[in-house]
A and B are shown apart, each in its own frame.
Chain A
Amino acid sequence: MSNKKLAIIATKGTLDWAYPPFILASTAAALGYDVQIFFTFYGLQLLRKSLDHLKVSSLGNPGMPMPMAMDKWFPVLAQALPGMQSMMTMMMKQKMRSKGVASLEDLRNLCAEADVKMIGCQMTVDLFGFQPSDFIPGIEMGGAATFFEFAGESDICLFM
């Protein structure tokens, strides 16, 4: 019996949205799935050597729970002030650490150890002018057809 297959397209480059692809990929691998993640557009940020630059923003994100009920009294426009995004990111990271949520680096390493195949979208790599040296080793580059080669035979296919 061949393994089940999970194909993921990761398109977002924020701290919060970096989690779903790595959590699901690593868990699926632990359950015996073959997994591929195709990183395109802003998702390419998740393949950068360091993930420290990833941020979370409350702007345009009314569902984000805010500390001290800030969403009730703090004007949305003020969230656009310089430094707000860094502050939100710092608070989010602190909360994650205090709740025992894994770091993104750890999850990504676990994915790599579990043979999750990570593919960078060549077109968007060229579009944004990334260099191969910007990314972690062990990834491949490919296009839409490369993705479908695996996704076409997958049992689960997710766009994130």
Chain B
Amino acid sequence: MANIDKELDARGLNCPLPILRTKKALNDLTGGQTLRVVATDPGAIKDFQAFAKQTGNELVESGEANGEFTFVLRKKA
């Protein structure tokens, strides 16, 4: 498992806040660094895939456990 450079807790937030907070958090990282996001919005699964596809930031990991969704994004170089 890759090391994580930054964590974002987006639990309890609803669309579009998880994506907006993620975008902000990525701004603090440099290319190649990773961000882990935890969210509870069920719409987040599709939204994070779409976000990664459109922004070029790579969705390295995507998982679900106990109603929480975890995403790891690697910032575009």
Contact = CB atoms under 8 A, between A and B. Distances in A.
A16 to B, nearest CB: 15
A31 B51 contact: yes
A30 interface: yes
A102 interface: yes
Given A100-B13, A100-B14, A101-B14, A32 B55 contact: yes
A26 B14 contact: no
Nearest to A99: B14
Interface stretch (B1-9, B16-24, B65-73): B16-24
A134 B21 CA distance: 29
Interface string A87-107: 000000000000111100011
Contacts of B15: 23
B42 interface: no
B23 A30 contact: yes
Interface string A17-49: 000000100110011100000000000000000
Contact of A27 (B13, B20, B41): B20
Given A31-B51, A31-B55, A32-B55, A23 B14 contact: no
B20 A110 contact: yes
Interface string A69-97: 00000000000000000000000000000
A109 B36 CA distance: 25
B69 to A, nearest CB: 14
B2 to A, nearest CB: 23
Contact of A32 (B16, B17, B54): B54
B32 interface: no
Contact of B19 (A27, A99, A106, A107): A27
Interface of A: 23, 26-27, 30-32, 99-102, 106-107, 110
